[in-house]
Copies of this chain bind each other. A is one copy, B any other.
Amino acid sequence: MGKKIVIVGGVAAGPKAACRVKRLMQDADVTIIDQDTLISYGGCGIPYYVSGDVSDESELRSTSFHMVRNEEFFKNAKGITIKSGTRALGIDRKEKCVNVEDVASGEKADIPYDILMIATGSKPFVLPIPGADLDGVFTISDLHKAIEIKKRIATGKVDKAVVIGGGAIGLEMAEAFKDLWGVTTSIVEFMPQVLPRIVDFPMASMVTKHMRDNEVDIFLGEGAEEILGEDGKVTGLRTGNRTIDADIVIMAAGVRPRSEIAGEAGLQLSPMGAIVVNERMQTSDPSIYAAGDCVEVMHQVSGKKFYAPLGSLANKEGRVAGDNMAGIPSKFKGAVGSFIMKAFDVCVGATGLSLEVALAEGYDADVALTAPSDRAHFFPTEAIVCFQMVFDRRTRKVLGLQGFGPMGDGISARIDAAAAYISMGASIDDFANLEMAYAPPFSAAIDSINAVAYVADNLCDGRLRKTSIESFLSWMDDESTQDNWLALDIRHPLEAGPCVEKFGAEKWLAIPYNEVRERYNELPHDKTMIILCDAGTRSFEIQSFLNSVGYENSLVLSGGFNMMRRIGIDWYPS
């Protein structure tokens, strides 16, 4: 037998590294320890198991060729020993052994290693509020919890669900409850938007509206203060503003690295408790590797370490760890933090930094928005997509991209291309010429990702003066400032007409796009004009023209009506 390789943690990074290192060194003695009895599963599939899209939990633990990844599978197919139901208690780095305990019997033992890997993953953050220990309060931390949640729903014990946390897992769980089981479902999010830090306000607002249209209640800017119960069972949730009845409460308030064993062994941890590793996934002890949700990795935009607990990264890190344990000096250079999520009939994706994060990191950041067709506008399956590009004004570097559109792989295509490009340091100008494979059923000759880069280019060079949807909405709500500005609606008269009728031509002037060159002298010089169209493109053209005839007092509404409609503005004439 060759080297003894011991891996603590058997969900994603651990099994991936084990299989890789075994393939590279068939004589290695590879052992995976896990305190759980269910291992090597797709944790990201839990919401789809709960919803019923995935009928049996064993599918989450199976290979693509339908073998369940259990102890026997790892032994026979992979030549890897699994010690499940075995908890790692500590690491003796001097003696090079892991002290373990059999969870069932309490029996203890030492497992020696030549190389150790820590893949202990993450643990859900449990809010320190009263009632967090009531029966019916769940985190989404392992398959057992998922099985129990689904059992409760399937046996009719869940009529009302509350999800604490409007992040990806919270939204996915809410959809699972509502869409397939018809459970009355609410989400409570402490921040003023869903998906905080992942996407910015416009994208988050479109997701919120679509979730609400699908009858999920969403309460933003409300903290969960107490989980209410009776006879030890959950009956509801009290926030700062209201009380919501519930038979089940899901706490989806984020995760933290599970790194106690590493910390106690004296390995270097980050301030938030993640294990510090180099590009070869090696900890501060050269004989110990770590990967997955327990480590932090390099952010390829900010150049700083960040915590990115994602199954896709865990697998890549695991493979790099496996390589290095076998002596191949592979590197995991970092990540840009790509994200994608289905929400009923739409999807939302992001990569790189959000505006909020970019500003907090000190970038001279701004955003470009547009809402064009996702493919040739004459092709029958065409639909509107909304993109926001985050860029640095000083360097013209693209820092991030966010997209919203109908369910399908179209948003993925742009987010993935952007992730590849951003990780290589691409600029606005690179994005303007990014070559998206073109045929009418798939894309537009000027693809949406090029279009948003064009907007960023025009903004960066000071050719485009814009206002945000937030500012426009607050103007619309604030009667006192409305005398200073005028909406210039350049859409077709049939589209603009209802707004003119509702608000009056003093406030809402309609001149069709193709008549502005003739009729611009109808415009006032003493008001700020907000130019409005569907996507923002025509508005920019009109702004350019108006500049040239002495009207420099206009602003383009970023994202236009295509985005405003998807945010669900309440003053819009129906």
Chain A: residues with CB nearer than 8 A to chain B?
A: 12, 16, 19, 23-24, 26-27, 42, 44-45, 48, 53-54, 59-60, 62-67, 73, 76-79, 168, 172, 310-316, 319-320, 328, 330-333, 335-342, 347, 349-351, 372-373, 376-380, 407-410, 412-421, 423-424, 426, 429-430, 432-443, 445-447, 450, 454, 461, 463, 491-492, 513-515, 517-518, 533-535, 538, 540-541, 544-545, 547-549
Contact = CB atoms under 8 A, between A and B. Distances in A.
Contacts of A77: 513-514, 517, 541
A15 to B, nearest CB: 11
Contact of A419 (B59, B351, B432, B436): B436
Nearest to A314: B445
Nearest to A56: B378
Pairs of residues from A and B, 8 with the lowest C-beta to C-beta distance, nearest first: A26-B548, A312-B438, A340-B437, A409-B409, A413-B413, A424-B424, A338-B437, A64-B377
Indicate how many identical chains form the complex. 2
A198 to B, nearest CB: 11
Contacts of A16: 446
A310 B314 CA distance: 39
Nearest to A49: B378
Given A314-B445, A339-B437, 14 more contacts: A19-B541, A26-B545, A26-B547, A45-B440, A54-B380, A64-B535, A65-B513, A312-B435, A312-B447, A328-B461, A412-B413, A416-B416, A416-B434, A424-B424
Q: Which among A378, A443, A461 has the highest number of chain B CB atoms within 10 Å? A: A378
A315 B442 contact: no
A385 to B, nearest CB: 11
A401 to B, nearest CB: 11
B438 A44 contact: yes
Given A376-B45, A439-B44, A420 B412 contact: no
15 contacts: A26-B548, A44-B438, A65-B533, A73-B514, A76-B514, A76-B518, A77-B514, A168-B439, A172-B439, A330-B429, A333-B433, A340-B443, A342-B442, A409-B413, A419-B435
Contact of A426 (B372, B424, B461, B513): B424
Contacts of A62: 377-378
A64 B518 CA distance: 22
A340 B65 contact: no
A450 B540 CA distance: 40
A373 to B, nearest CB: 5
A463 B322 CA distance: 15
A544 B378 contact: no
A350 B438 CA distance: 11
B437 A416 contact: yes
Given A54-B379, A373-B64, A445-B12, A42 B316 contact: no
Contacts of A333: 430, 433
Nearest to A20: B454
Contacts of A548: 26-27
B372 A64 contact: yes
A3 to B, nearest CB: 14
A538 B359 CA distance: 47
Contact of A445 (B312, B518, B540): B312
A548 B1 CA distance: 12
A340 B433 contact: no
A571 to B, nearest CB: 23
A417 to B, nearest CB: 4
Contacts of A545: 26, 79
Contacts of A518: 76
A506 B45 CA distance: 43
Contacts of A314: 445
A151 to B, nearest CB: 19
Contacts of A12: 445
A351 B538 contact: no
Contact of A342 (B350, B421, B441): B441
A135 to B, nearest CB: 29
Contacts of A379: 45, 48, 53-54
Contacts of A172: 439
Nearest to A403: B437
Contacts of A440: 42, 44-45, 48
B412 A544 contact: no
Contacts of A59: 378
B420 A434 contact: yes
B419 A437 contact: yes
Given A413-B416, A440-B48, A445 B311 contact: yes
Contacts of A430: 333
A376 B314 CA distance: 15
Nearest to A541: B23
A533 B77 CA distance: 14
A378 B48 contact: yes
User: Which one of A78, A314, A342, A438 has the greatest number of beta carbons of chain B within 10 Å?
Assistant: A438
A451 to B, nearest CB: 10
